[in-house]
Amino acid sequence: MYQHIKVPATGEKIRVNSDFSLNVPDCPIVPFIEGDGTGVDITPVMIKVVDAAVDKAYGGKRKIAWMEVYAGEKATKVYDADTWLPEETVAAVREYVVSIKGPLTTPVSGGIRSLNVALRQMLDLYVCLRPVRYFQGVPSPVKHPERVEMVIFRENTEDIYAGVEWEAGSAEVKKVIAFLQQEMGVKKIRFPESSSIGIKPVSVEGSERLIRRAIQYAIDNQRKSVTLVHKGNIMKFTEGGFKKWGYELAAREFGAELIDGGPWMKLGDKFGGIVIKDVIADAFLQQILLRPEEYDVIATLNLNGDYISDALAAEVGGIGIAPGANLSDSIAMFEATHGTAPKYAGKDYVNPGSIILSAEMMLRHMGWIEAADLIIKGMDGAIAGKKVTYDFARLMEGATQVSCSAFGDVMIQNM
């Protein structure tokens, strides 16, 4: 029994089989978090587009029973002023296995810590999967956006991103700095009196499980390479560890062998001869502009993955159409790459494409391929017809600018 969540009377739960495959009923209950800021604009449009795609694909035989669960500012209104992430929201997302969320605000400097990060950690959603693909006709700042075809596997639970840090001047930071100086012999803290300190945990387990999923994805989808993106020249045991453990895992679990003495490796023929390589993160960020066709599946740490996600999204038209998924072995929570874009909140203005394409990933994950294909068809048609939201309209010649909700309707007309 939930306090504020209303379970739809008609739906059924999606169940996870022992091999982690899903058992999806025809009327699955799917929890959704509306999201802060532009969440009020994009989430209802996503639901409308998904319902239309499912209806068209299955003629009424299948239907999602949407179940609203609360987080962020809406939770503080539904529950009480201090409840940003109700326990029953986390419980429902766990219990119903597949869910989708709008963006949630995280204040800079002070205030609450990221609810997005909290959800990923509490549910152990260790993979942040963000595919980056080009839709023909989308305006792009690069000459050959069609060459950008990558799938980012971003570690989602650890790294400097995990929020282990202490504020400059606090009693806690003084204790940490004293420990580092006195017990660990650290002499390199430049301004010990006025430093904040952040800790960057990167583990063998956390790195291996992420890299394993990336390699398996590359095998299952006949991809050419997996690139480990790191800054291991500077952060030797965290980012460098990620790289080292990645190559070791490729050799141990996938029979990878060195190419020309290494460090690059190649998986055996039975795994499609996929190349495992690595690149330092700063070099990677320039090469994805100059030679994106050299990169395919990307496995990287949490913070690098955050930067890379937005940078790659920009190459194929911006974060208005950048989808994503947060995955554990059994639970999947889909969400856009972008945030709450507060200046546009409630204006029916922004591009709902990211959350709609996140829902497209969700439908594919559920095995509802025909509905997912219709969403891609709708997106292709809307872009080809040049009826687009402000972000594309400002860069596209001859485009008609439409609102967030109208873009959803144009997608539906094009299915």
Ligand X SMILES: O=C(O)CCC(=O)C(=O)O
Ligand Y SMILES: NC(=O)C1=CN([C@@H]2O[C@H](COP(=O)(O)OP(=O)(O)OC[C@H]3O[C@@H](n4cnc5c(N)ncnc54)[C@H](OP(=O)(O)O)[C@@H]3O)[C@@H](O)[C@H]2O)C=CC1
Binding-site members for NADP(+) are 105, 338-344, 351, 390, 394
Query: Residue 231 catalytic?
Result: yes
Distance between CA atoms of residues 55 and 72, nearest Å? 31
Rounded distance between C-alpha atoms, residue 97 and residue 342, angstroms? 29
Number of chain positions touching ligand Y (CB under 6 A)? 19
Q: What residue 14 binds from ligand Y, ligand X, Mg ion, none (CB within 5 to 8 A, per partner kind)? A: none
Residues 322-341 that bind ligand Y (CB under 6 A): 335, 338-341
Q: Are strands 29-33 and 98-101 parallel, antiparallel or unpaired?
A: parallel
Out of 41, 306, 348, 409, the only residue in the binding site for Mg ion (CB under 5 A) is 306
Residue 350 contact, options ligand X, ligand Y, Mg ion, none, Cβ 5-8 Å cut-off depending on partner type: ligand Y
- Stretch 105-144: interaction string toward ligand X, x if CB under 6 A: -x-------x-xx---------------------------
Q: From CA 142, how far away is CA 144, in angstroms rounded? A: 6
What angle separates helix 369-384 from helix 353-365, to the nearest 10 degrees? 160
- Minimum Å gap between C-beta 300 and Mg ion is 13
Q: How many CB atoms lie within 10 A of CB 44?
A: 18
C-alpha separations of 73 from 159, 227, 340 in Å: 27, 38, 12
Q: Are strands 325-327 and 15-16 parallel, antiparallel or unpaired?
A: unpaired
Task: Please answer whether residues 27 and 12 qualify as being in contact, where contact means their C-beta atoms are separated by less than 8 angstroms.
Answer: yes
Q: Please report how close the Cβ of residue 299 comes to Mg ion at its closest, in angstroms.
A: 17
Whole-angstrom Cα distance, residue 306 to residue 337? 9
Q: Is residue 378 involved in binding ligand Y (CB under 6 A)?
A: no
Catalytic, 161? Answer yes
Q: Report 369-408 residues binding ligand X (CB under 6 A).
A: none
Q: Chain-centre distance of CA 82, in angstroms?
A: 27
Q: How near is the Cβ of 286 to ligand Y at its closest, in Å? A: 22
Going by the annotation, the residues of the binding site for D-threo-isocitrate are 114, 116, 120, 130, 154
Print the binding letters for residues 254-293 with Mg ion: x by CB under 5 A, - otherwise.
----------------------------------------
Q: Are strands 98-101 and 332-335 parallel, antiparallel or unpaired?
A: parallel
Nearer to ligand Y, 67 or 333 (CB): 333
Partner that binds at residue 323, options ligand Y, ligand X, Mg ion, none, CB closer than 5 to 8 Å by kind = none
Residue 295, number of CB atoms within 10 A of its CB: 25
Give the nearest distance from C-beta 322 to ligand Y in angstroms: 9
| From 70, 79, 126, 161, active-site residue | 161
Of residues 41, 306, 348, 409, which has the active-site annotation?
306
Q: Are 58 and 370 in contact (CB under 8 A)?
A: yes
Shortest separation between residue 337's beta carbon and Mg ion, angstroms: 6
Residues 256-315 that bind ligand X (CB under 6 A): 306, 309
Is the distance from CB of 254 to CB of 268 less than 8 angstroms?
yes
296 part of the active site = no
Closest CA to 390 of 139, 47, 146, 44: 139
| Binds ligand Y by CB under 6 A, chosen from 89, 99, 116, 238 | 116
Q: Are 273 and 266 spatial neighbours (Cβ–Cβ below 8 Å)?
A: yes
Residue 58 a catalytic site member: no
How do strand 387-388 and strand 297-300 relate by DSSP bridges?
unpaired
Which lies closer to Mg ion via its Cβ, residue 225 or residue 302? 302
Establish if 158 lies at the interface with ligand X (CB under 6 A).
no
Residues labelled catalytic: 161, 231, 282, 306
